[in-house]
Amino acid sequence: MKNFPKTSYCKDQLSRIISLTLILVLIGSLNCYSQNKDATISLFNGTSLEGWEVVNPANGKYWSVVDSVIVGGDGIINIPTNTYLRTTESYEDFEFRALFRLTGDPSTGLINSGIQYRSIIEGDLIIGYQADIGNGYWGDIYDEHRRGKLVGGDLSTLKHLLNEDGWNSYIIRCKGNKHELYINGVKTTEYFETDPNIPSSGVIGLQVHSGGNAKVEFKHITISKLLN
């Protein structure tokens, strides 16, 4: 039997130990991450608006389901007033994910949308945080019907990946007073709420902004409750 140099054998053993340690650390990290998230659930059944309500029932005509996609506006008629579709359930600490597409002719007016979260309903108004969508507003956090723009999105990386007229992904992650927004996997915004009077729980909402002939589409809408 051939004898290998002791130093080579030691190096091989050390390499195996290091590799095994890294694997165990990775598995532990993944387990820790998964333990901090509840099961992911779908917020859209793909066929109807079950689980959703139009904030102002008079604007119900602007919302529909077409080919397993939630659609706001039609890209033809100008939207006369901001309109919102919202969940019937409220959420506090969560990770929200969706694919979205915003289209429309800027010459007709503002082409804009957004995703409301931790929002409350007062009459025909939805009040709360909005993850903004649209040219000049990508990745901003806006406080709808309350304080206005809170923080602008960082587009230094996103501008190379954004498909302005096509499908993009949005992730909204809220844990305690920390808010994080991601578009196409790129972190655009981090915000810490310092006002204890602002509600930390509320509904999720989808917006079509007034002005132009905007059309916004959402699909693969999911949410995971974040555990303590």
Cβ contact 56:205 at 8 Å: no
pLDDT single digits (tens) 126-147? 999 999 999 999 999 999 999 9
pLDDT single digits (tens) 37-84? 678 999 999 999 999 999 999 999 999 999 999 999 999 999 999 999
Nearest to 65 by CA among 218, 203, 170: 218
Question: Structure pTM?
Answer: 0.82
Question: What backbone torsions phi and psi does residue 61 show, to the nearest 5 degrees?
Answer: -65, -15
pLDDT band at 24 (very low <50, low <70, confident <90, very high): low
Does the structure show a pLDDT above 60 at 21?
no
- pLDDT on residue 25: 45
Cα 178 from Cα 165, distance rounded (Å): 30
